[in-house]
Amino acid sequence: MSNKYTIVFRAEGNEDRVVTAGETILEAAKKANVPLDAPCSGNGTCGKCRVKVLSGESESGQTRHISREDYAQGYRLACACEIRSDMVIFVPPSALAYQNRIKISGGEREQAVFSALREELRTLGFTGDSGLEILGLTLSRPDLGNPIADRERLLMALETLRGEGAPPLGLSLHAQRKLPAALREGDFSVTCVLRRGAGEDLVLNVFPRGASNPVIAGLAIDIGTTSVSILLLDLLSGEPLALGSAGNGQIRYGADVISRIIESSRPGGLERLQRAVIDECIDPLIRALCRKGGIDSEDIYRAAVAANTTMTHLFLGVNPAYLRLEPYVPAFFEGGTLRGIDTGLFLHPDAEVIPAPGIGSYVGGDITAGTFSSGVYKKEALSLLIDLGTNGELVFGNADFLMSCACSAGPAFEGGDISCGMRATDGAVEACGIDRETMEPALRIIGAAGQKPAGLCGSGLIDLIGELFRCGIINARGKFIREGKRVCRDEWGMAGYTIAFAGETETGRELALTEGDIDNFIRAKGAIFSAIRTMLVSLDFTVDSIEEVYIAGGIGSGINVENAIRIGMFPKLPLERYHYIGNSSLSGAYAMVNSRRAAGKVTEISRGMTYLELSSHPGYMDEFVAACFLPHTDGGLFE
């Protein structure tokens, strides 16, 4: 049912958006395409959709997310505030979903990872293997006695240059459209970008011949449930040009893949979700990367996309409904090779877009790509890959066998479902210690010197909870058992730890971790640990048999494994067996876009990997419940 009131949404730097529909402000915002952040899907639990009512009736119960002062000023949770009159709503930046917060860097920080991978690809013989090349040539000029058309003139010259035995040549429509001007600007000297194909080689682009060669660029795209990361790179050198990340615009339809699948089955939902990730997130990111890298979208000839199974379905506009219905069957494992124009991405219309293949409903291309980039598939040692995303995915095995499974960790490791959570970008607390005596914290914050804290990313959360537990400030159930200046309690009695006082933060609001946040986190870490246990038990292995552990995911620049073990998130193993490998899904996509053979290897990995469906596995639920303590109900596991 829709109301008949007019709702105006106002945000800094944006035009007003007006709508006359919706039962609540959150619903109206969805219809007005205002991307309010609502990872809890509007249940009133996350407190992210905090807006300010400038005019109109707005009685709604005060909640723990809105202080008395803020309530008096007109702040409301959009999900809890019914529409009973015309309204004007101010949307503060903090309530806008992630996609407005694109971050671009030169990729300096990650340069080391990609350098190592490039070296690795070279060792494996997977280089210079994108199928793309540059050819320069000079054509005869047309005259009345030689009025051959531009296309045929070019193709004949290319055939002569390439000699006999070369495959037949085609000209992409994009290049055809540019050809007449390019030939005449370059006085019939041109530079072509060619792609070798199975049956036919294709001229993808043509430029008037000049001083510098055209760029052959590619994209490695990692689509996470919560955030999206994209690397723009030079495909001839493998050199990163720019790296960017943004929140996944789908987050306003819910934080986890199940909410997204449900939304996609509503009328128009599939298209809405596809638009939310492509138009609002991936394409703006690509534009920003192109600006940073100084290239045009037509220079991007190849892209690899690694994502979980639901995200891959939504990216391609394929209905994911059957992923959550027994027997949990995806619409596809392998997406084949698509053309740019099919995907709606902002790149060359004839670009090759290659989704990394998935192997099950909840183990997707992000994991097969990550299995490649972690190297687990070719190790002798029994190795465990843990990818900490909104879904936690695990791969266990070595060169002889690979098994994988997935668990729903929720978005806590990426800062979701945590009142003070945020992604690992500027202002995020990425590490922290606590003085046992004074209970005073010491924070390490992402960003330039002097950066004030704005929230906690995954690694900061693990540290903070580990330290709170180590210092005896919270107990095994995550409840506060010490009092002090840093321990606050709200009017409902919920306790929290003040990480930074209002005057010390980026936002000017106090930064605190509540018992509710700790609850959410404990469920997330419990899901991970119980999945590890269940998979090992199903294979008749014990935790001790794990020889190497690779931790992946966008939880921060690193992870304090000691604290992660202390809180029962990871098994108790010698610390040197743990390796943090960053975003392995993105690294895998980087390998796939660089090299056709690497992409083929990822497909090979996916075809050989076994999938363990945890949701129907007996024993998993018991393991999960047992793991929802600090560190575990079976403390012996961590001694």
Binding site for a copy of itself (CB under 8 A): 142-144, 146-152, 170-171, 173, 176-177, 179-181, 184, 197-200, 316-319, 321-322, 326-336, 338-339, 341-342, 349, 358, 360-361, 611, 613, 616
Quickly tell me which residue has 């997330």 as its tokens.
Answer: 524
Strands (DSSP E) contained in 308-434 are: 338-339, 352-355, 383-388, 391-397, 402-408, 428-434
| 479 burial level (CB within 10 Å; 0-12, 13-18, 19+) | exposed
Toward a copy of itself, which CB reaches closer, 365 or 631? 365
The nearest distance, CB 338 to a copy of itself, in angstroms, is: 6
The nearest distance, CB 371 to a copy of itself, in angstroms, is: 18
Toward a copy of itself, which CB reaches closer, 98 or 611? 611
The nearest distance, CB 348 to a copy of itself, in angstroms, is: 12
The nearest distance, CB 284 to a copy of itself, in angstroms, is: 23
Toward a copy of itself, which CB reaches closer, 114 or 188? 188
The nearest distance, CB 273 to a copy of itself, in angstroms, is: 14
Toward a copy of itself, which CB reaches closer, 54 or 149? 149
Toward a copy of itself, which CB reaches closer, 44 or 317? 317
Single-letter residue type at 120: E
The nearest distance, CB 368 to a copy of itself, in angstroms, is: 13
Whole-number Å distance between alpha carbons of 515 and 492: 12
Toward a copy of itself, which CB reaches closer, 181 or 399? 181
The nearest distance, CB 24 to a copy of itself, in angstroms, is: 32
Q: Output the CA torsion 48→49→51→53 (10° steps).
A: -140
> Exposure string (b/e) for 314-323, b if CB count within 10 Å is 16 or more?
bbbbbebeeb
Toward a copy of itself, which CB reaches closer, 206 or 424? 206
The dihedrals phi and psi of 626, each to the nearest 5 degrees, come to: -65, -25
The nearest distance, CB 452 to a copy of itself, in angstroms, is: 47
Please state whether beta strands 391-397 and 383-388 pair in parallel, antiparallel, or not at all (unpaired): antiparallel
The dihedrals phi and psi of 388, each to the nearest 5 degrees, come to: -90, 90
Toward a copy of itself, which CB reaches closer, 3 or 172? 172
The nearest distance, CB 350 to a copy of itself, in angstroms, is: 9
Strands (DSSP E) contained in 539-617 are: 548-552, 578-582, 610-612
Toward a copy of itself, which CB reaches closer, 112 or 621? 621
The nearest distance, CB 333 to a copy of itself, in angstroms, is: 4
CA 442 to chain centre: 29
Quickly tell me which residue has 């490695």 as its tokens.
Answer: 220
Please state whether beta strands 428-434 and 441-445 pair in parallel, antiparallel, or not at all (unpaired): antiparallel
Which residues are CB-contacts of 27 (< 8 A; sequence separation ≥ 6)? Answer: 21, 42
Whole-number Å distance between alpha carbons of 76 and 44: 11
Toward a copy of itself, which CB reaches closer, 37 or 150? 150
The nearest distance, CB 612 to a copy of itself, in angstroms, is: 11
Toward a copy of itself, which CB reaches closer, 119 or 342? 342
Distances (CA, A) of 289 to 115, 232, 243, 324, 366: 19, 7, 7, 35, 21
What distance separates the 2 farthest-apart alpha carbons in the chain? 95
Q: Return the SS3 of 392.
A: strand
Whole-number Å distance between alpha carbons of 460 and 513: 11
